[in-house]
Every structure is written in C-alpha cells, then in structure tokens.
Amino acid sequence: KVFLKLKNANENEQLCHPKLGSGSLKETEILNINKSCKTEQSTFQNDNAKAAFTLAEVLITLGIIGIVAAMTLPALVQNYKKKEAITRLKKFYSTMSQAIMLSENDNGPSIDWEKTYYGDIKDEDGNVSIEGNRNATIVYFNKYIKPYIKYVKVDENPVELQDGETVQTDSIVVYLSDGSVIVIRNGACTDFHFDVNGNKPPNEYGKDKFAFALCPRNKAENECGGSKNWCAYCPTSICNTREKALQTCKTQPVSCGRVLMMDGWEFKEDYPYKL
C-alpha cells in the first residue's frame, strides 16, 4: 500500500505544479489542482505517521508489562514450589510404602521388625551413645530398607554444626536422585525426616521438611493409629481428626506432614505455612 502511494505521489508530482498558460488550464483550475495535491500528500504523511509507535507509547507499554510481571511472578513461584514439594512428597511416600511392602515379603511384617530403642545404648559414662544409636540406625536401614530403594549415596557418618563446632549426629543421610534427602534416625519409631529440596533453604519443618515414622508394634497405635505403622508423623492422640492435626501443625511444624497426608497430599487454603 505504501509503495503504491509513493508511486502515485511521484506521478502526481508532475501535475501538482502546473504553470499559467500551460495548455488550456485556467487560474482557478490550477488552484484546485494544487489544493487536491496538498490533501493527497497530507493523507500519505498521516498514514506513515500512524504506522509507528512513539517512544512514550513504548515506555508506557513496557511499564505496564513490568507491573503485571511484578504482581504475578511471586504467585507463580509460590505455586511452582508447592507443586514441586507435593510431587516429591507423594513420590517419597509411595516409594517408601512399596519398599516396606517388598521388605515384608523377605523379613515378615514391618510392625514386628527388630530394632534397638533410642536410649538403650549407653556410653561408658552412662549417657546415650551417639555413635551406638547411629550404628543401630545403620543396622536397621541396611537390613530392612536399603535393598528396596533407589538412591544416589548414603552418608553413614554425617556431621552438623552446633555452636560453631562440628559434631557427629546419631542419624544417617540418604541422598535421592531428584535432589531430596532422607535423614533417618533410630528413635521410639524409626524416624524419616524428608527434605524435598535437600540442603537448600529454608530447611524448616512444615515448609520443606516433613517427618515420617515407621513404628514397631508397641508404638504403632500411638503414632500412626490402629495396626498402621508407616505414616506421616503426628501422635494419634493429638492428630485423630483433621482439625486437631491442623492445630498441631501450627504449634508443632514437625507434625505438618500428617495434615498433607489427610488432605490427599495437597496444600489446602488453610495450610499455615508458605513455601
């Protein structure tokens, strides 16, 4: 369209400036021709002007896009973190449930698996032995769990910082291929503390850390309810309803996994923590 206008403009240029006395044109006819040419040229210039954005219009558009992005990006990040956490939680719970089932085929009901209780192993001073309790965790894990799960590596001698000093722990750490980790500890039940994003922050219960328990017969009813002995941790006495579990989650974040378990592994609107 622009090309045709240019072509027409060039052709009309020859007609836009006729002189008096040329041919049979009169003065009034020449004035009408010049007026028509100016109108055509003005229309052509206006059409060209409308084909481009001004700098102000571009800056305003970019500003609006920036505001919209600033308003929506936090929500998108939050939703992504929730989806990632729930996906990994469901995968972990399912993987462990399957591993326990496979192990039961070889070792009998998990509710009757042999274990040493926390506090039973003492050091020479009569205190609970950190090393002894960790060794009990290793024995339990190697026999009942390790052959039935896939993992990247197992740290059987982890350390942590306490008051600026490196100290040994009574736990072992299992690293999974998706970047999540399981900290396993010998307690009244065997405790599995699952961190959906490994060592990345915030490393807080209820946000990216969730506790699970695999209990022997004499602890199963109190921790998981009835004959069920593998569950998200929260004592049945204070988590026997969803309302009580939610209230416990608010005051004891280590118990928040039970709320998610009751909700079918979903973050409901009233879940008290943001990831």
Which pLDDT value is given to residue 8?
Answer: 55
pLDDT in tens, 64-108: 888 877 777 666 677 888 899 999 999 999 999 999 999 999 999
Strand 181-186 relative to strand 190-195: parallel, antiparallel, unpaired? antiparallel
Instruction: Tell me the two tokens of residue 140.
Output: 């339990």
Average pLDDT in the chain: 85
Reported as a pLDDT band with limits 50, 70 and 90, residue 49 is low
pLDDT at 3: 45
Local confidence band at 175 (pLDDT 50, 70, 90 cut-offs): very high
Helices 27-50, 2-13: axis angle to 10 degrees equals: 160
> Rounded to 5 degrees, what are φ and ψ at 259?
-65, -45
pLDDT band at residue 19 using 50, 70 and 90 as cut-offs: low
Let me know the angle formed at the C-alpha of 158 by 197 and 138, rounded to the nearest 5 degrees: 100
Which residues, including other chains, have CB under 8 Å from residue 164's CB and lie 6 or more apart? none
pLDDT band of 6, cuts 50, 70, 90: very low
